[in-house]
DNA sequence: GCGACATTGTAATGCTCTATAACGATCCCG
DNA sequence: CGGGATCGTTATAGAGCATTACAATGTCGC
């Protein structure tokens, strides 16, 4: 099998400095300020910045983080399901798994119930890393969300879930 | 260090897929359900689907829509400022302007106050198109948001604004 | 005015993420 | 058993963005 043909990145890791979208003073934003989609986008920027701060130096992105958390909480999950969770194609989920495996965070194990599928599992090292990562992300998320009261926070999550369907 | 030399990376503006993020039954989402960032992301996908429905057949994306609205509301805006509004580099703003110009929606005009800059303006045709587009997007945005009551919608916007800071 | 530096538009280049399509292996079901 | 679905995999293509470099133009300190 040629999964050993690992996809290599020419540039291993480049730290990224993140900047918020500028709210240019004096500019007319017209209809944008009425759109829920645009409000969501702006709020997402704020939370994304918190995420970036939490994962600085780890070469982690939101999809990668989501994948690691889901693998950790659902050992043996296969790549197709992972792709559905992330909303990406199987091929993309596989590239993710390769990437994790190359770092020794995740390993593939044969599944007894399905000869086609590989089960994804965190390694010891992956578990330690994900645990630390989750803690840092949660802390930053809460800190950023601290502009809201606890009740507001709960209400916001409720409304977002309702919206997401 | 000047702002122009600061590295920045645009926060993903929109899901790059039209597929909704599946909520796989029986799967453990662990810490994700506590994270505001994740809830925001899922809600954003839902609103993006509304946007996609509104602009179907127009070959429009959220950045393009934002750019057109901003150009329409701020005639003569230059490409650097447009880039800052969108959170992308000048070169990207330029590619956008090229794209609009090729379709005859936007034209560049020399600015009397700055010999380096080009002012961006909607053409007649661009104006008609943007007006129609704004109406459609607004309608779909409201329709998708209709899963919320009017009061909930107002509250959501308030919380999002507070979060976006 | 002059000179250093900043800013604008532009072009070239490369990377990352994602989709799509194809394929063999395996599973499921009638 | 046989046809179709599913899984992992590979290859390929394209969108979107950053980065870098450059010339033209603007700005500011002196």
Instruction: Give B42-83 pLDDT, tens digit per residue.
Output: 898 889 889 999 998 899 999 999 999 999 999 999 999 999
Task: Write the CATH number for B42.
Answer: 1.10.10.10
Strand partners, B54: none
Q: What is the pLDDT of residues A85-126, one digit of tens each?
A: 999 999 999 999 999 999 999 999 999 899 999 999 999 999
Question: How far is residue B28's CA from residue B39's CA, in Å, rounded to a whole number?
Answer: 15
> How distant is C1' of D15 from CA of B54, in Å?
21
Number of domains in chain A: 1
Tokens representing residue A65 in the block: 């983080």
Question: Which bases in strand D are touched by protein, i.e. have an atom under 7 Å from a CB?
Answer: 6-12, 15-21, 24-27
Torsion angle of the four alpha carbons B25, B26, B31, B32, in this order, in degrees rounded to the nearest 10: -10
CB contact under 8 A, B21 and A72: no
Question: How far is residue A65's CA from residue A53's CA, in Å, rounded to a whole number?
Answer: 13
Q: What is the pLDDT of residues B82-115, one digit of tens each?
A: 999 998 999 999 999 999 999 999 999 999 999 9
Instruction: Confirm whether B81 is domain-assigned.
Output: yes
Q: Are A100 and A79 in contact (CB under 8 A)?
A: no
Instruction: Confirm whether A14 is domain-assigned.
Output: no
> How distant is C1' of C19 from CA of A84, in Å?
14
Instruction: Confirm whether A1 is domain-assigned.
Output: no
Q: Which residue of B has its CA nearest to A50?
A: B37
C-alpha dihedral sign at A143, A147, A150, A152: negative
Question: How far is residue B46's CA from residue A165's CA, in Å, rounded to a whole number?
Answer: 8
Residue A109 sits in which domain range?
Answer: 30-164
Instruction: Confirm whether A22 is domain-assigned.
Output: no
Question: How far is residue B69's CA from residue A17's CA, in Å, rounded to a whole number?
Answer: 28
Q: Which residue of A has its CA nearest to B144?
A: A163
Instruction: Confirm whether A154 is domain-assigned.
Output: yes
Q: Given CB atoms, is A22 within the 8 Å cutoff of chain B?
A: yes
Chain A / chain B CB contacts < 8 angstroms: 218
Instruction: Confirm whether B130 is domain-assigned.
Output: yes
Strand partners, A91: none
Instruction: Confirm whether B5 is domain-assigned.
Output: no
Instruction: Confirm whether B12 is domain-assigned.
Output: no
The pLDDT confidence band at residue B20, using thresholds 50, 70 and 90, is: low
Interface of A with B in 99-128 (CB under 8 A): none
Q: Given CB atoms, is B27 within the 8 Å cutoff of chain A?
A: yes
| CA-based nearest residue to A159, from B16, B141, B158, B23 | B158
């Amino acid at each position: 099998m040629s999964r050993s043909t690992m996809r290599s990145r020419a540039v291993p890791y480049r730290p990224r400095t993140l900047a918020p979208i500028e709210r240019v003073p004096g500019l007319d934003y017209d209809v944008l300020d009425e759109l829920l989609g645009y409000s969501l986008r702006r709020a997402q920027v704020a939370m994304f910045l918190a995420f970036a701060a939490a994962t600085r130096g780890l070469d982690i992105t939101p999809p990668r983080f989501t994948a690691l958390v889901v693998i950790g909480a659902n050992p043996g999950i296969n790549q197709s399901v992972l792709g559905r969770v992330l909303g990406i194609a199987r091929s993309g989920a596989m590239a993710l798994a390769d990437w994790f495996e190359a770092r020794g965070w995740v390993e593939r194990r044969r599944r007894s119930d399905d000869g086609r599928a590989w089960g994804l599992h965190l390694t010891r090292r992956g578990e330690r890393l994900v645990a630390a990562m989750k803690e840092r992300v949660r802390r930053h998320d809460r800190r950023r969300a601290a502009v809201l009261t606890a009740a507001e926070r709960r209400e916001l999550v409720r409304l977002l879930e309702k919206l997401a369907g």
